[in-house]
Chain A
Amino acid sequence: MNITSYDHKDLIYALATPWGSSALAIIRISGEGCITLLATAFSRPEALLSARTNRIVHGVLSDPASGKAVDEVVLAVYRAGHGYTGEESVEISCHGSIPGIEALLELLKNLGMRPAEPGEFTFRAFMHGRMDLTQAEAVQEIVSSRSRTAQSLALHRLGGALFTELQRIKSLVLDVLSVVEVQLDYAEDEIGGDVTFPLETVVSAKSQMDALLATYEVGRLYGQGARIVLAGSTNAGKSTLFNLLLKEERSIVSEVHGTTRDFIEAQTVIGGIPIRIYDTAGLRDSMDSIEAEGMRRTEQLLEQSDLILLLLDGTEPHDNADMLGSRIGKLVHDPRCIIVWNKTDLSVGKAPHGSFPLSAKRGKGFEELQAEILARLRKGSARPMDDQVVIENSRQRDALVRASEALAACMRLAQAAVPLDIVAIELNEALEAMGSLTGEVTSADVLEHIFSGFCVGK
């Protein structure tokens, strides 16, 4: 199970530039067939497929399922025998925002590629004869230093608390699997009939796994921060709210370079969460006068935001009615949107149902709004304690998602009275996924569990 991670026929991907915000980022993919696969998500598949080696192709990568654009990219194409690894590969130059990079990595994964192991690109480069002997020694050095310092690669990557948590869940799954396997290893009469399938244990393991998975959002939130976009018409009072949000803590306001003044960006911290706030010029100005380019950027911004504050002018009921019919009106139905009914100090009308009444000018209602912002960002999860286990990286998350999906399938199959040997496949899948994080689970482990838990044998 473990050894397949160095299987050099897999298509692999990895971010080649540092994990953080910058103007540009490069994601590398490698492996025979990666160009054909990438073309299925590329706006100009023919250009990519026909590109000779060392050429670059410009276009848009989109999710093939939804057709939704993920990023505008430049692809550097390397055919077999060229490039860093010496096998067919592509370097994707994309925009360097963290949500953008994450979206692209997600796309590659959904296409069927897997994240590269540490040192794997270099390993492949050597395997394809792209390095001389001294360089090869260096590869060996890299890999061997890992084996010297870490008892297990997998262990090394995990914090102690997360490891313990995973082991606990794994042992639950092992319990379930041993109940299944004992019935597959021994005949009905050898163990005195059927053992009841421990569905509750599966449910419990899955809910613990899902709870762990939910911390991924929290971990990401506190680690990488969130984006909030202010939207609304010119006189709704966005600037006042913008300043109010920034007034609370140390903030930096900057203009975005290299563009027309589309939006203003500022960084602040709310309730411990690093936040970027965008005051969108595109939406601040009247709709008609917006250039297509500005509109596109704004939409992109909205797309990437974690939260949208839509300000309605409490004194302008007509304006509001118009807006609901406009493109911005769609935002009302966006689950990320908080509707703010501003200027309660001047307005006589009642705030519409579901909106937050606020007087940005006097600060009335601001505390409630702030609380709502935090609640929405945390999605119900509390701020992590220092000792709370949190999933931090997407590789861990991917493995847990795979395990969780397998357990869901296992529950479904068990309830549909599908034979146990098929149910066992899903349980093994779940164990294997967790094993990729905590170290291998072998069939000997399962037998060990059976022998210690059941009185078996004729």
Chain B
Amino acid sequence: MDYDAIVIGGGHAGIEAALALSRMGWRTLMITQSLDAIGRLSCNPAVGGLSKGNLVREVDALGGEMAHLIDKSMIQFRILNRRRGPAVQAPRAQADKFTYHRLAKQTLEGQKGLALFQDTVNDILLEPDGRTICGVTTERGHQISARVVVMTTGTFMEGRIFIGEYMCSSGRLGEPAAVGLGTALREKGFMVGRLKTGTPARVRKSSLDFDAMVEQPGDEIMMPFSFDYDLVDRPAMNCHITWTNEETHRIIRANIHRSPLYGGKIVGKGPRYCPSIEDKVVRFPDRDKHQIFVEPEGVGTEEMYLNGISSSLPEDVQVAYIHSIRGLEKAEIMRPAYAVEYDYLDPTQLYPSLETKRVDGLFIAGQTNGTSGYEEAACQGLMAGINAAQKLKGEPMLVLSRTEAYTGVLIDDLVTKGTKEPYRMFTSRAEYRLNLRHDTADQRLTPKGYAVGLQRAEAMDKLRVKMERIGAVKELLASRRIEGKTCAELIRQPEITIDDLLPQVPELLAFAETERYQAELDVKYEGYIRRQDRQVDRFVRMEQIPISVDFNYDAVDGISTEAREKLKLVRPLSVGQAGRISGVRNSDLAILMVVMKRGGMRSKGCAACDGSDGSDESGEYDGQE
């Protein structure tokens, strides 16, 4: 074997997979089409956001890299949804794209046991059994062997770019697609589909009239995504807001027939949650304006990102409608907006470990699985990397539950339900989000990252100290009384915050704001958290009834045809997961449980269950008292 592991792709999923594998001690090779494109922020120059910020912190808690990269490259930081509730606020940061990429490459290069190689993988190599991975072949004719492969091809697999009538084979504008791999995988029996996404135009800073826009500054204090340190001190930049208008919409409507989306050239389905500007105009004809965020792509560049008007309209139309927008009248377009269509693998072909069911040792992560977003990619890359390493070690897979991480929700959704449009994380996808706050990611996951040998011992120490200090705050709140009421009772009232108590309980000042805040939330929402914990208990019980991977669904009478087909496709690992497959009903589950139980009885023999019947017939009664 040339290597223990190969990671295909150097994007946000590939970075995490490669680092996890090499940090866990395996000789790893990352193959990328361009070393200059490692960790590139292809679309939005920002990391985090609602539920996505949680993903970044989960990656960090497990021992991943994304939080470090954004902490050292951010040029604006905000906590979103502060007023809307503790469970749904999340950090978001604007990134300096160049710094982000440079740090990512630097981190990979500095990692012991990790090799980087520029080439394009065009096929995977299988053992003679046809079911086990043993390496990859590349465009330049290399055959490289490895025991596990993690595939993170992003939008590059058979990628195709559209700008109006223009079309070309590309993964990103100006970068060639990875041709051949998608076809090779189709030939090996994988279900491959097409998805579409898009990105807006980049315009030149000096050509914009910022006085005509609304300034959008970040929070005064920058807070780290990572749990490893408590401070981020970086210079901040502003974003700006402007709006489309009736004239913009008129131009778009007049040219809508020139969009490849409406002309039927693009077959892949795009994300409804992040629609192109032409989609917004068509679907919401009553809206007289749409918001645009003008975001800097970084320090030392003139390129500005026009967030909110991604498009695949022809370039002359783009110029016309951009110039109709206030503040952008003289905008010089440096890169046009474009749509990209690419191959993705139906993620129901994966186990929750992200290993494919079809090929042993092949793991798939990131946009290849039908997701969208850097954060979604990173958390999958990390889990695929960890599990590939576990596989090499011969140890059990690390599968996070829906009850303990957004990462768990994301992967469970993908492998159980599949996806028909680019899948983005949303807080509303998580049932138990009170337990999934971004500030508790370390409590939830750091011990797991440590147990598999990825997270460092210092992180565990830091977590222990944090928990002790939060415990001390809670103790203080429970014991200290103000006018007859304990502080805990007081802050359970919606209008009272822990900071209101500082004058009366100055000892609280000895604790960091984050420690006070977390203790406050735990106490304030204790009732709801406990209620959620009970729901979690019920949920977990169903998760703990295992179904074997080779369970013969055809031998089960009585389940519906639809359920049978879905069960055979998804091959759920627990009764709980089976219940989340669309088309599988309660009655199907009941039958499954009966049949599984019967199988168990056969193997044990029936003696045990017959024995207890004896006393029933004897019917002792002590009479009516």
In the complex, A416 Cα to B84 Cα: how many Å? 13
B241 at the interface (CB under 8 A from A): yes
- Comparing B252-260, B286-294, B336-344, the segment that makes contact with chain A is B286-294
Smallest Cβ-Cβ distance to B604: which chain A residue:
A129
Smallest Cβ-Cβ distance to B87: which chain A residue:
A421
Residue in A44, A58, A139, A186 whose Cβ sees the most chain B Cβ within 10 Å: A186
When distances are taken between beta carbons in the complex, the residues of chain A under 8 Å from B532 are: 425
- Comparing A3-11, A250-258, A282-290, the segment that makes contact with chain B is A3-11
A203 at the interface (CB under 8 A from B): no
Asked whether B84 lies within 8 Å of A183 as measured between CB atoms, the reply is yes
A158 at the interface (CB under 8 A from B): no
Please give the distance in Å from B28's CB to the nearest CB on chain A.
35
Please give the distance in Å from A52's CB to the nearest CB on chain B.
8
- Comparing A28-36, A140-148, A230-238, the segment that makes contact with chain B is A140-148
Complex interface bits, A166-191 against B, C-beta within 8 A gives 1, otherwise 0? 00000000000000010111111110
Asked whether B621 lies within 8 Å of A56 as measured between CB atoms, the reply is yes
Identify which of B274, B427, B528, B594 contacts A425 (C-beta below 8 A): B528
Identify which of B84, B542, B558, B616 contacts A184 (C-beta below 8 A): B84
Smallest Cβ-Cβ distance to A428: which chain B residue:
B431
Please give the distance in Å from B576's CB to the nearest CB on chain A.
7
Complex interface bits, A296-307 against B, C-beta within 8 A gives 1, otherwise 0? 000000000000
Smallest Cβ-Cβ distance to B587: which chain A residue:
A147
In the complex, A189 Cα to B79 Cα: how many Å? 12
When distances are taken between beta carbons in the complex, the residues of chain A under 8 Å from B479 are: none
In the complex, A132 Cα to B613 Cα: how many Å? 12
Asked whether A153 lies within 8 Å of B625 as measured between CB atoms, the reply is no
B356 at the interface (CB under 8 A from A): no
Query: In the complex, given contacts A2-B579, A7-B541, A147-B591, what are 19 additional A-B residue pairs having Cβ atoms less than 8 angstroms apart?
Result: A2-B585, A3-B586, A6-B593, A47-B625, A54-B619, A55-B620, A82-B616, A86-B612, A126-B597, A136-B598, A140-B591, A143-B590, A144-B559, A185-B50, A418-B494, A421-B434, A425-B528, A455-B290, A458-B307
B42 at the interface (CB under 8 A from A): no
Identify which of B81, B87, B433, B613 contacts A188 (C-beta below 8 A): B81
In the complex, A82 Cα to B595 Cα: how many Å? 22
In the complex, A57 Cα to B541 Cα: how many Å? 33
In the complex, A452 Cα to B579 Cα: how many Å? 27
Asked whether A143 lies within 8 Å of B624 as measured between CB atoms, the reply is no
Smallest Cβ-Cβ distance to B286: which chain A residue:
A455
B518 at the interface (CB under 8 A from A): no
Please give the distance in Å from A287's CB to the nearest CB on chain B.
32
In the complex, A123 Cα to B587 Cα: how many Å? 11
Residue in A143, A186, A188, A446 whose Cβ sees the most chain B Cβ within 10 Å: A143
Please give the distance in Å from B338's CB to the nearest CB on chain A.
17
B11 at the interface (CB under 8 A from A): no
When distances are taken between beta carbons in the complex, the residues of chain A under 8 Å from B299 are: none
Smallest Cβ-Cβ distance to B82: which chain A residue:
A188
A451 at the interface (CB under 8 A from B): yes
In the complex, A121 Cα to B81 Cα: how many Å? 47
Asked whether A6 lies within 8 Å of B50 as measured between CB atoms, the reply is no
A447 at the interface (CB under 8 A from B): yes
21 A-B pairs (CB sep. < 8 Å): A3-B580, A6-B593, A54-B618, A123-B590, A136-B598, A139-B594, A143-B591, A144-B557, A146-B587, A185-B273, A187-B49, A187-B81, A189-B291, A189-B293, A419-B86, A420-B84, A425-B434, A425-B528, A457-B271, A457-B273, A457-B275
In the complex, A300 Cα to B428 Cα: how many Å? 52
In the complex, A119 Cα to B291 Cα: how many Å? 56
Identify which of B84, B431, B593 contacts A421 (C-beta below 8 A): B84
Asked whether B85 lies within 8 Å of A184 as measured between CB atoms, the reply is yes
Complex interface bits, A184-209 against B, C-beta within 8 A gives 1, otherwise 0? 11111110100000000000000000
Identify which of B291, B430, B434 contacts A192 (C-beta below 8 A): B291
Asked whether A129 lies within 8 Å of B429 as measured between CB atoms, the reply is no
Asked whether B587 lies within 8 Å of A144 as measured between CB atoms, the reply is yes
Please give the distance in Å from B331's CB to the nearest CB on chain A.
18
Asked whether B586 lies within 8 Å of A54 as measured between CB atoms, the reply is no
Please give the distance in Å from A317's CB to the nearest CB on chain B.
49
Asked whether A55 lies within 8 Å of B290 as measured between CB atoms, the reply is no
Smallest Cβ-Cβ distance to B575: which chain A residue:
A3
Q: With A143-B558, A186-B50, A458-B307 as given contacts, are A133 and B609 in contact (CB-CB < 8 Å)?
A: no
Asked whether B80 lies within 8 Å of A188 as measured between CB atoms, the reply is yes
Smallest Cβ-Cβ distance to A129: which chain B residue:
B609
Please give the distance in Å from B53's CB to the nearest CB on chain A.
10
Nearest 6 A/B pairs, CB to CB: A144-B558, A129-B609, A419-B85, A421-B85, A3-B579, A147-B587
Asked whether B612 lies within 8 Å of A82 as measured between CB atoms, the reply is yes
Smallest Cβ-Cβ distance to B421: which chain A residue:
A451
B450 at the interface (CB under 8 A from A): no
* B:402-448 near A, CB below 8 Å: 417, 426-431, 433-434
Smallest Cβ-Cβ distance to A53: which chain B residue:
B615
Q: Please classify how large the interface on chain B is, using the bins under 10, 10 to 19, 20 to 34, 35 or more.
A: 35 or more
When distances are taken between beta carbons in the complex, the residues of chain A under 8 Å from B29 are: none
B538 at the interface (CB under 8 A from A): yes
Please give the distance in Å from B372's CB to the nearest CB on chain A.
11
Asked whether B87 lies within 8 Å of A57 as measured between CB atoms, the reply is no
When distances are taken between beta carbons in the complex, the residues of chain A under 8 Å from B307 are: 458
In the complex, A258 Cα to B620 Cα: how many Å? 29
Complex interface bits, A412-435 against B, C-beta within 8 A gives 1, otherwise 0? 000011111110010000000000
Asked whether B560 lies within 8 Å of A147 as measured between CB atoms, the reply is yes
Smallest Cβ-Cβ distance to B563: which chain A residue:
A147
When distances are taken between beta carbons in the complex, the residues of chain B under 8 Å from A133 are: 598
Smallest Cβ-Cβ distance to A451: which chain B residue:
B272
Smallest Cβ-Cβ distance to B560: which chain A residue:
A147
Asked whether A451 lies within 8 Å of B609 as measured between CB atoms, the reply is no
Asked whether A54 lies within 8 Å of B575 as measured between CB atoms, the reply is no
Complex interface bits, B569-593 against A, C-beta within 8 A gives 1, otherwise 0? 0000001100110000111111101
Asked whether B291 lies within 8 Å of A185 as measured between CB atoms, the reply is no
Identify which of A58, A187, A190 contacts B625 (C-beta below 8 A): A58
Asked whether A127 lies within 8 Å of B621 as measured between CB atoms, the reply is no
A393 at the interface (CB under 8 A from B): no
Asked whether A140 lies within 8 Å of B273 as measured between CB atoms, the reply is no
Smallest Cβ-Cβ distance to B276: which chain A residue:
A457
Asked whether A422 lies within 8 Å of B625 as measured between CB atoms, the reply is no
Asked whether A143 lies within 8 Å of B587 as measured between CB atoms, the reply is yes
Asked whether B287 lies within 8 Å of A455 as measured between CB atoms, the reply is yes
Asked whether B597 lies within 8 Å of A455 as measured between CB atoms, the reply is no
Asked whether A456 lies within 8 Å of B591 as measured between CB atoms, the reply is no
In the complex, A132 Cα to B601 Cα: how many Å? 10
Please give the distance in Å from B237's CB to the nearest CB on chain A.
16
A294 at the interface (CB under 8 A from B): no
Q: With A74-B624, A126-B597 as given contacts, are A421 and B88 in contact (CB-CB < 8 Å)?
A: yes
* B:539-572 near A, CB below 8 Å: 539, 541-542, 557-560
Identify which of A3, A54, A451 contacts B620 (C-beta below 8 A): A54
* A:401-418 near B, CB below 8 Å: 416-418
* B:285-327 near A, CB below 8 Å: 287, 290-291, 293, 307-308
Please give the distance in Å from B404's CB to the nearest CB on chain A.
17
Please give the distance in Å from B332's CB to the nearest CB on chain A.
22
* B:466-511 near A, CB below 8 Å: 494-495
Identify which of B80, B538, B593 contacts A127 (C-beta below 8 A): B593
Q: With A126-B594, A127-B593, A133-B598 as given contacts, are A446 and B216 in contact (CB-CB < 8 Å)?
A: no
Please give the distance in Å from B131's CB to the nearest CB on chain A.
32
Please give the distance in Å from B530's CB to the nearest CB on chain A.
12
In the complex, A128 Cα to B613 Cα: how many Å? 12
When distances are taken between beta carbons in the complex, the residues of chain B under 8 Å from A57 are: 625
In the complex, A147 Cα to B587 Cα: how many Å? 6
B44 at the interface (CB under 8 A from A): yes
Please give the distance in Å from A126's CB to the nearest CB on chain B.
6
Asked whether A4 lies within 8 Å of B542 as measured between CB atoms, the reply is yes
Identify which of A4, A58, A189 contacts B538 (C-beta below 8 A): A4
In the complex, A54 Cα to B557 Cα: how many Å? 36
When distances are taken between beta carbons in the complex, the residues of chain A under 8 Å from B558 are: 140-141, 143-144, 147-148
In the complex, A113 Cα to B612 Cα: how many Å? 26
Asked whether B274 lies within 8 Å of A458 as measured between CB atoms, the reply is yes
